[in-house]
Chain A
Amino acid sequence: MSATVAMAQPAAPARQRRFTVLRQAIAFGRTRIGLAIVVAVSLIALAGPLVAPHSPTVFVAAPYAPPSAKVLFGADYLGRDVLSRFLCGGRVILGLSLAATAIGLAGGIAVGLLAAYGRGWLDELLMRLMDVLLAFPQIVFVLLLVSAFGPQLWLIVLTVGLSHLPRVARVTRGAALEVVERDFVKSAEALGETRTRILLAEVLPNISSPLLVEFGLRLTYSIGLIAAVSFLGFGLQPPAADWGLMINENRIGLTLQPWPVVLPVLAIGLLTVGMNLVTDGIARAAIGLGAAPAMPR
């Protein structure tokens, strides 16, 4: 049986092709909603400190004071303005998440490509090392290292990034293996192209779609992980303003004054959901254009 019915596609002019997947993704309603949410929450996180009515560390009311003109969302367990702390509490999470994702992605792609193209012993060695890193749930890995070094921000970024690395490597390797088998790679070898050139110019551009999806996923998980680490008390330390920390600090008084918990919960929730919607849009666009396999790994 022949493949699915061939759809007539008008020839696209050369320039448009670079970002076809992204263009297609934006066309979905879901992606646009997700993007809007991400942009909105990011703006709050990034620009928040500039518009906060009070300093996040100053006491301005009684502990758990209800919302009033002075403190629009009430006060937290120590009497600080909830709104101000909320507006200042997102920057670090965003920054750390982006950094950790970048580390994980860069390292993972390098390892995955080397393993896929090297085959044989290099592949085995790298994948066994990845297995060891993968033997821990991501949060446990972070906790393990925090127990040795204490709660340092650079450590959090490094460990979260390292915990992403093997997962990204697996996906990269899987996608690259499929490409490496194709004849145009063998053709490049037959011409005598160097290994590096083949990896960068022949293989990498052809796995850009699954990698884009992976970037979205990893960023979503980074945000969740780093917020969780703060929630557990191993991220920014008091009296700093941080969404994760705020949730933990104030949950004792949840029944009295829900806002210091609800606001950061909403922010984190919306941010991660928005990111996931965008990622899903990219994934569907890639599958639709045949640029990525339909099954998630």
Chain B
Amino acid sequence: MTMPGVSVEGLRVDLAGTGRDIVADVNFHIAPGEVLGLVGESGSGKTTVALALLGHSRRGAQIASGRVLIDGQDILAATPAALRAARGRLVAYIPQDPGTALNPALRIGVQLEEMLRAHLPMLDTTARAVRLAEMLEEVKLPAGPAILRRYPHQLSGGQQQRVALAMAFACRPRLIVLDEPTTGLDVTTQAHVLETVRSLCARHGVAALYVSHDLAVVAALAQRVVVMYAGRIVESGPSAAVFRTPRHPYTRRLLQAVPDPAARRGLVGIPGHAPAPAMRPAGCFFAPRCDLATDICTTMPDATRVAPEHDVRCWHAADLAAATPAVPPPDDPPPPGGTLLAVRGLGAGYGSVRVLHGIDLAVGPGECLALVGESGSGKTTLARSIAGLHADRTGTIHLHGAPLAESVRTRAQDERRSIQYIFQNPYASLNPRRTIGDIIARPLHIFFDLPQDDIHRRVAAQLERVALNAAMADRYPDQLSGGERQRVAVARALAAEPQMLVCDEITSALDVSVQAAIVTLLADLRRTMGLSLLFVTHNLALIRTLADRIAVMSGGRIVELGATEDIFNAPRAPYTRDLLANTPGTSAIGLTQAAQTPP
């Protein structure tokens, strides 16, 4: 009996040559026309599963066992020739970064047409041309030969992703695997791409697996969802059920960490990080980080059915039957008022290209001002100009009434100390050849004249302030996770005893749960130390509970500046309205209902 659609049974992928698994016990089913969301953070194995559906594994991994049935054919048991035929024809892949997935040396037309040549050889030249035109029209790319003659680098990110979509749907496969396809695209383009995917799947009855760490996007798109943690499926079921009444502690905590543009609630991160394949504990992998863990959790639970179609792998699933209580928003005192930093008429650019025009803003002591905008809006350039890392600027910046020089090198030491900058990429902002202790001690050496013992003590104090173990001072950056590294960056900034922290998208490279923890940390610091924050981000929802005021930027200008709640509840500028409308939230399936339920 061959079931239509896709069936994955007992899939297991091992680390090559070790016998340890990356993912195991993976079972799910996708009906034709249905979108299944596969959700997980880094280290969950979701990409490994996605690639396995095409019979592919990354270098260092090998598919150990299991079946992947697509319309009755087992991909994992196919001969190499059959596998090649199946790829593209039966199952197609849409990559995360189309910029690197398209061959830079070949024209778009060539890359599109070879799909047809390889899998539909019965088509002659004219038929192929017709089909190509159809493909372009389906993904809403401009018709005509012009685009076919272009090279990938001549297209925008959104166009590149549409080409990838066209390639995937070219041969009408039965299954499409999408691996975080909208990362790196701005919110509006993301919305368009998702809409195209949804309509194409519905029109052609194609099953889709949508892999993502972004729960909000998955909530908006997928009918059913599977949650993975450390290589195991921990929960699966209809989206509405899983997001509204999650029955696994991890899912629950994950949802509490996701920012929601529609409701004002607190964010809670999950302490610690997911274990690497070699470091998994016996029993439930999530137990070390779970506040419901008991002795029974030292054995791995089986998947149990808790509701129609809703499976959970947890001993305590029954205890979580009630809806998740919403985390109340933090009750922060308002900032004291006054002006710490004033920017007037700031313009900046790179040589002849100007990217900022006429920026006016002010930040008070103890206040958090968020700079929100998409890529290209100039928000990073603005942050760098304020910090003195971008010297090509006009206009004035005053700190405590005194003007700041363009370049940080020419600023007074006290000025340098007062404004500290935290970079986006935690994997590049720490010197890999120095210990954590050395890294944090540098500002102490530069700004203060202290004896060696005092330095040690202060380093330990900074580490504690960011909730890191003082023993970390002897470790090297590559031994730390992304979240831990970002905390070290914060500690380094705090060591200088600044008055203002400029945070440049510091959570973009981090998982959702870690992101929430960092944001909570910053809120705490602001409250306890009276620090000012200039927080740059593209995620409007993220700073709802952190920022006092928000400046929305587009095209190098501030299009709207106001108090946080005003921006969310009554946005005035059309750009801000569009931004809010296109930002997906988990409330898309009614999480706000949970927020209004009394705890």
Contact = CB atoms under 8 A, between A and B. Distances in A.
Interface of A: 1-2, 4-12, 14, 17, 182-184, 186-193, 202, 205-206
Interface in B379-426: 387-389, 408-409, 411, 413, 416, 420-421, 423-425
B421 A187 contact: yes
6 contacts: A1-B51, A2-B96, A5-B15, A7-B276, A183-B424, A205-B431
Contacts of A11: 475, 479
Contact of B416 (A4, A5, A7, A192): A192
A287 B428 CA distance: 18
B474 interface: yes
Contacts of B442: 188, 191, 193
B417 to A, nearest CB: 9
Contacts of B43: 6
A17 B429 contact: no
A187 B42 contact: no
Given A183-B428, A184-B428, A206-B432, A14 B97 contact: no
Contacts of B42: 2
A1 B179 contact: yes
B278 interface: yes
Contacts of B58: 4-5
Contacts of B279: 8
Given A5-B61, A192-B409, A12 B479 contact: yes
Contact of B96 (A1, A191, A193, A205): A1
Contact of B429 (A1, A184, A189, A206): A184
B474 A187 contact: no
B504 to A, nearest CB: 9
Nearest to B435: A14
A25 to B, nearest CB: 18
B22 A190 contact: no
Contact of A1 (B97, B408, B475): B97
A-B CB proximity, top 4 nearest: A8-B278, A8-B276, A183-B429, A205-B433
B134 to A, nearest CB: 28
Interface string B428-457: 111111010000001100100000000000
Contact of B431 (A6, A192, A206): A206
B288 interface: no
A187 B60 contact: no
B479 A183 contact: no
| Max chain B Cβ within 10 angstroms of own Cβ: one of A4, A192, A193, A202 | A192
A183 B435 CA distance: 16
B479 A182 contact: no
A5 B428 contact: no
Contact of A14 (B408, B431, B474): B474
A188 B443 CA distance: 9
| Max chain A Cβ within 10 angstroms of own Cβ: one of B278, B388, B433 | B433
Contacts of A191: 416, 442-443, 446, 496
Given A5-B58, A184-B430, A189 B15 contact: no
Contacts of A14: 435, 474-476
Contacts of A2: 42, 47, 96
A186 B423 contact: yes
Contacts of A193: 442, 446
Given A12-B479, A190-B416, A202-B431, A5 B60 contact: yes
A187 B61 contact: no
Contacts of B476: 12, 14, 17
A183 B425 contact: yes
Nearest to A8: B278
A158 B97 CA distance: 51
A146 to B, nearest CB: 42
Contacts of A190: 387-389, 408, 416, 420-421
Contacts of B61: 5
A182 B428 CA distance: 6
B277 interface: yes
A11 B475 CA distance: 8
Given A11-B479, A12-B479, A187 B96 contact: no
